[in-house]
Structure 1
Amino acid sequence: MIKIAGRVTMNKAAQTYAKKGWPVFIDTFLDDLTCEVCKVAHKTAADFQRCTCVLCHGVYSATTDPDRIRDMTKYIKKGIICVRTGSASGLVAIEIVPPAGTRSGGHLEKAGLLPNTLTVLDGQVAGYLIYRHPGAGIRIRSGANRLGPGVHVHADGGYIPMPTSRSRKSGQKLAWLGDSPDRAIAPLHPRLLATLRDNIAA
């Protein structure tokens, strides 16, 4: 069991997530940290993924390598720890954004489609419900309002911010429900998986 205890630095928190197999990168409140060389040289997702620069190409720089993570956190002192979602990490996050998301999420919960799972809180009513991705053979597209107004999906091609960072949206410090990232992660409800999946590889 991995817990974040003691004085929590950005590096310590990021390394904790990486040990769970979740690729992390450090975001900022700037639009793009990609260097000018990489902006010119790299044009495709495959290029971005092959790039070895520590901070270039945002989510594509996500890694579980402790040395690269240490370099990221040294370069950006007050960044936002982010975890890549989708098959890369085995995670799908359903984001509830009030006020519309509170109503939409309530309907989903009442229908039994949002089982209890690992949860990141962004304030009192907003947050991210984290579920297991079904695997590399199934693509789940990230997108806003995919499960109703104010209920966004972060999966393949996406990412979510993590504690102990501050939310870009609310400015509040993100926190784990239950104060730990060790809670069991539930699978997506079969009805939600049927709704969200894009295709199954042959």
Structure 2
Amino acid sequence: MRAVDYLALLAGAGNTIAISAIAIVLGSPLGLMLALVRWAKIPGLDGLVAVLVSLLRATPSVTLMLLVYFALPVLGIELPRVVAAVATLALGSMAYNCEIWRGALLAFPKDQLEAAKAFGMRRHLRFRQIVLPQLLRSALPALVNEMTLLVKVSPAIAVIGVADVTRAAVRIGAATYEPVPPFTVALIIYLAIIGVLVLAQRLFENRQLAGNAI
């Protein structure tokens, strides 16, 4: 492989990391908001959220990507390629994160909330100081797993013309007639990205365990 090929792969890696990171940052809190709606069983909204989440989870990433990029302009909403890529991955992440957060909320012991309420603690304080820290600890492994899945489905952004690691590897392999080296480098890049996520999870868990031990 030539130096220019490595530069193309690194540029693709930059797009993969940036788009995936933004999608994760958007998808996780949005998923939590939807999970809270379902947990609170708000009339009307609960059913709508359930249908939305089910549809998003059932739609393949490539199909959703094409739908967002090509169908929205029909409604007068035209998104740049990168924005459409981020929006699509964030929507998918939001749907899966909603179910992860909802599972953690359903398992949360309600007696703690009732005790805090009895002491006069306001709702937002109860959520911020009691519910959220425990939710994060219990949901973290599943959240990180979803993040790794998002990185692995991120090559779907190539169908709307956004260059990522996989697309760069395909181009290099087609140009050099040697597909193995660029795809090997691409694999190493994906392993490094996912390894960072797993390492961050373990560091957070170790920090929590150390804090609880004090």
TM norm structure 1: 0.23
Structure with the largest fraction of helix: 2
Which structure would you say has the larger Rg? Answer: 2
Return the structure number with greater relative CO, CA threshold 8 A, min gap 6.
2
TM norm structure 2: 0.22
